[in-house]
Structure 1
């Protein structure tokens, strides 16, 4: 009897830890990410729509990346409010839409960054932009196929969410790592990790290597030619490093949390499963931080867009004065 009371007390303490993390960590983290990331992405989207008359391939990729981040950031205020007040999501459709937008953004962001890095590589190899992959029409096709691929990846999660909500009488909204249904959650999560994260990350690393190799060859052939292209190498390497640092902890802890739902030998309720879930909570805002950092790449990659946008802003300020 005493052992049961102690186990119940430990489980209660661990549950309190999770609520504290949600209230004092998730809630302010999501609020800060919205306040910082939303204006930057909104400025980029409006700037592309109203200030940029002629779009090139990389402009199309950047615009779609900004739109994905902007839509995702709009879901954070509600999450922040619910966590701050210790409330659960009671609207089933709001739960499904939120989780859907979250994961579509998670995997579309890194995919569009791959196409941006591909465009930087082609710019160095074909400075006259005469390669067919550098055409705006090709970029539109690649963009459409990318959205289709990401939605196909996330589709099984929608089925899992419906089954989990139905099991909980449509009143209990849980994150992906806690869903239960007919789909093998661990196998699906591992597959999503590989196709949605590891494969694009390897592509980013590959383009970084190819750009570095191409610049090295050009420097040996003609030293002055490679100097203007040093910045694309830094941009591509920074993008790969960003996703490696932000996405890796989240995907590792998500898969560990799903696997820990089975009874592991020697894994007690509190120090095992609940601490794993606590660490998983810590990685979630870190993974979504890319939506705040991405606007930096918009201004670094698009010189003409940056100059046009700043010129328009200066004109607006002068008119206001």
Structure 2
């Protein structure tokens, strides 16, 4: 995330972007792109078999992929190479939407599992493919509309063709601070409260469970635990620094100077979430592991068939040459 000075008196220099971003984002891009493509494939195969939660995972993978493919642009910006203003703003919009669409989808997954584990005999309609598809579309629509309203309120949409959206103003203005407060409450605090409640109720239910499916349900709890912890580790530092900036920074070069490097570092750490989510799902979910094994077997069969076919051609050519 590039920064721009809001006041001429604020002279802030930082080497974090140039030294940390290219290395960190390159690693996250390589791992995240591969992992999310695999997760998208697995979730798609499971959805075709009627797995309703796979719909949320498809949308989560798409959201994470959109953010992941934006990372090369952030690397170019960090290295101070030329990037078109329109592309710059578009990438910024993709990044922020991915943050909050991802939060919304993780809430949906938490509520889905909460209803499945705590009320297994009820709310079946909530876990149907049609319902989860409608809910996913609603999450995307709501997040995009709210984001457009906020950007329009700050005047950023009118300056879309400039670098306004991909360059943070330092120090923050009062308007920027209000924007940050709204994002903190709607995009972070509310999802954390929902996810915490669902996870606590699921764990409580699993501890009391004596059914045959107890082991399978424990894996559900383990999956949600790792997704929850990953979200907390990735976003709590960033949201904490953003909250401090919104409270202390407006009009203050001193606070802007102190908070700039922590802010830049925590922006990079948010990428952990989009990188680890698909890996966690593919490692813990039995159904996901089965689909991965099937995909590996198919690839192996195709490879062996091509190898045999190539060997047959070589033998045929060799036979013709000798006769």
1:41-68 per-residue CA deviation (whole Å, 9 max, x = no partner) reads 1122234446863232101000000011
- Work out the number of aligned pairs and report it: 295
Which residue of the partner structure matches residue 317 of structure 2?
A: none
Cα contact 1:88–1:172 (8 A) shared by 2: no
Two-structure CA RMSD over aligned residues (Å) = 2.9
The aligned counterpart of 1:117 is 110
Matching residue of 2:301: 318
Give the equivalent residue in structure 2 for 1:60: 55
Residue 239 of structure 2: aligned partner? 251
**Within the alignment, does 1:273 sit opposite 2:256 as a pair?**
yes
Of 191, 194, 206, the match for 1:215: 206
Question: What is the match of residue 220 of structure 2?
Answer: 232
| Alignment check: 8 A CA contact 1:177 1:255 kept | no
> Which whole-Å CA distance do the structure 2 matches of 1:75 and 1:102 have between them?
7
CA separation in 2, counterparts of 1:228 and 1:174? Answer: 44
Partner of residue 287, structure 1: 270
Residues 98-145 of structure 1 show CA distances to partners (whole Å, capped at 9, x for unaligned) of 111101110111211121122222332455786111111110111111
1:257 positional shift: 2.8
What's the offset of the Cα at 1:259?
A: 4.3
In the aligned structure 1, how far is the partner of 2:121 from the partner of 2:300? 36
Alpha-carbon distance, 1:173 to partner: 5.7
Change (3 A) 1:178 1:104: farther
Distance 1:309 1:129 in 2: 31
TM-score w.r.t. length of structure 2: 0.81
| Between 307-316 and 138-147, the greater mean CA deviation after superposition | 307-316
Structure 2 unpaired stretches of 5+: 1-7, 305-323
8 A contact 1:51–1:309 mirrored in 2: no
Residue 201 of structure 1: CA displacement? 0.8
Name 2:41's counterpart in structure 1.
46
Residue ranges of structure 1 left out of the alignment (5+ in a row): 1-7
1:200 match: 191
Deviation, structure 1 residue 291: 0.7
TM-score (norm 1): 0.81
Structure 2 residue 250 is the aligned partner of structure 1 residue 262 = yes
Contact kept? 1:157, 1:176, Cα under 8 Å? no
Match of 1:5 in 2: none
Alignment check: 8 A CA contact 1:253 1:276 kept: yes
